[in-house]
């Protein structure tokens, strides 16, 4: 059976106290909407419809950045979840497969749970995702009879007996598109909030002789984000899950609670990540790499066996070859570092290509920016860059070439050549003592006023 995913992302998120639409607030460097769309991709949906409302154009643009084929439906008036889903009818015109309704602000529904919902549809007309809450609070309650779901009661409309039930509604629902849209036409807004509830479809389905049932998931999967506190809790939940998944996949985290991942971080087995490491978006670490403490890695690719840090920063476009070494207080940006190359101390390498086996000494800088444009530095295989060398791009330093410490290199250096580009040292006998005496007398005179 083909499936379409409808993700509700129309909410303003008043409790976020923000100008940004709720669906675009980020967890692990990605909007909540991104998490929901990535999660549903496991079902290989034939269509994905994003229902937008508040700041509709902004949310729609974000959705299409994730999936350019995503369909957009607008809910101009916020009249409840049932009304929101009905807005997707036009986008799904002619579609007769299943619909799975998800929420941008409930981004952690697992692949296993979605597959369980899909499987449950084989034996039931409507499937609702529920969870057993430690503190049911204001969640809607699921009223069941054995495996059958009889109805859903919103908290505001529930009596004391119904509020005592701990099986709660996540809001996620699946069913055939023709049935679901037919049921949505029957519901009304005669309730405490005056809204059209998607949940009312269950009672109408049962009245029509349809079967309804519940699939139960872990409460953590249904974590909703409605406030800044919820957002922080969602970040913590994501990081906890990501840490466990990486360790289960063969990555050693020496202090897991101090390592922070992006939504798309990839790390190969037998890699070691030390304390206080932060991965930004688009970071890929291959097998056997070693990331030492206090590193920040974003938009970078680290090859097998490379060693990074401590206190190193890899920025977007950094490509490190096998067994490369990038040490403390080194920053790499938009640069290819060849196999076995070493940049061990206090250096900046940007818009550059460093050949295999090259060594860049402490304090060296590729001077890549002239105030208007960026320029490239090329360093050949086996080259040795002396400490505190300034390489003024565009410039090429050849294979097996060397630069003297403290040089300012403004011209290309041929293969195998030694480049010295610094002023001649001139010693002035006794001048240091004379100068110091002069300075001390000036200071004394100033202090006496």
Q: Which positions are catalytic? A: 345
Residues 341 and 354 sit within 8 Å (Cβ to Cβ): yes
Q: Collapse the DSSP code of 322 into the 3-class scheme (helix H, G, I; strand E, B; otherwise coil) and give the result.
A: coil
Closest by CA to 280, choosing from 300, 256, 304, is 300
* Bridge partner residues of 4 (DSSP): 47, 99
Q: How far apart (Å, rounded) are the C-alpha atoms in residues 314 and 280?
A: 10
Strands 148-153 and 141-145, bridge-based pairing: antiparallel
* Bridge partner residues of 6 (DSSP): 49, 101
Percent helix, strand and coil across the chain, each to the nearest 5: 25, 30, 45
DSSP string, 240-309: HHHHHHHHHTT-EESSGGG-B--TT-EE-TT-EE-SS-EE-SS-EE-TT-EE-SS-EE-S-EE-TT-EE-
Q: How far apart (Å, rounded) are the C-alpha atoms in residues 107 and 223?
A: 8
DSSP 257: G
Residues 93, 102, 151: CA angle, nearest 5 degrees:
95
Whether residue 310 is preceded by a cis peptide bond, meaning omega within 30 degrees of 0, is yes
CA dihedral 227, 233, 238, 244 (to 10 degrees): -170
Sign of the dihedral through C-alpha 110, 112, 117, 118 = positive
Q: How far apart (Å, rounded) are the C-alpha atoms in residues 94 and 315?
A: 47
Q: How far apart (Å, rounded) are the C-alpha atoms in residues 213 and 273?
A: 44
């Amino acid at each position: 059976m083909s499936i379409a995913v409808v993700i509700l992302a129309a909410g303003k998120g008043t409790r976020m106290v923000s100008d940004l639409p709720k669906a675009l607030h980020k967890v692990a460097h990605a909007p909540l909407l991104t998490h929901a769309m990535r999660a549903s991709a496991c079902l290989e949906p034939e269509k994905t419809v994003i229902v937008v409302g508040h700041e509709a154009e902004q949310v729609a643009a974000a959705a299409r950045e994730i999936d350019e084929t995503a369909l957009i439906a607008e809910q101009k008036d916020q009249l409840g979840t049932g009304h929101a889903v009905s807005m997707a009818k036009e986008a799904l015109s002619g579609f007769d497969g299943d619909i799975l309704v998800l929420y941008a602000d409930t981004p952690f529904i697992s692949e296993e749970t979605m597959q369980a919902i899909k499987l449950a549809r084989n034996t039931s007309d409507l499937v609702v995702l529920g969870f057993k809450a430690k503190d049911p609070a204001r969640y809607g309650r699921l009223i069941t009879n054995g495996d059958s779901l009889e109805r859903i009661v919103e908290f505001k409309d529930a009596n004391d007996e119904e509020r005592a039930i701990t099986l709660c509604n996540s809001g996620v629902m699946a069913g055939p598109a023709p049935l679901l849209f037919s049921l949505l036409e029957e519901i009304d807004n005669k309730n405490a909030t005056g809204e059209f509830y998607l949940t009312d479809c269950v009672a109408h389905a049962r009245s029509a002789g349809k079967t309804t049932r519940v699939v139960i998931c872990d409460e953590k999967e249904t974590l909703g984000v409605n406030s800044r506190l919820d957002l922080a809790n969602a970040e913590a939940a994501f990081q906890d899950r990501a840490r466990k998944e990486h360790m289960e996949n063969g990555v050693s985290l020496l202090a897991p609670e101090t390592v922070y991942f992006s939504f798309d971080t990839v790390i190969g087995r037998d890699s070691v990540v030390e304390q206080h490491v932060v991965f930004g978006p688009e970071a890929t670490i291959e097998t056997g790499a070693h990331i030492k403490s206090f590193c920040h890695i974003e938009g970078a690719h680290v090859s097998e066996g490379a060693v990074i840090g401590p206190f190193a920063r890899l920025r977007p476009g950094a490509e490190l070859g096998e067994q490369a070494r990038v040490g403390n207080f080194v920053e790499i940006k938009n640069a290819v570092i060849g196999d076995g190359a070493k940049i061990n101390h206090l250096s900046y390498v940007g818009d550059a290509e460093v050949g295999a086996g090259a060594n860049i000494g402490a304090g060296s800088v590729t001077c890549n920016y002239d105030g208007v444009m960026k320029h490239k530095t090329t360093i050949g295989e086996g080259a040795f860059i002396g400490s505190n060398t300034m390489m003024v791009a565009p410039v090429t330093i050849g294979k097996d070439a060397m630069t003297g410490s403290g040089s300012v290199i403004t011209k290309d250096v041929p293969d195998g050549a030694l480049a010295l580009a610094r002023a001649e040292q001139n010693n002035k006998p006794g001048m240091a003592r004379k100068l110091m005496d002069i300075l001390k007398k000036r200071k004394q005179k100033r202090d006496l006023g």
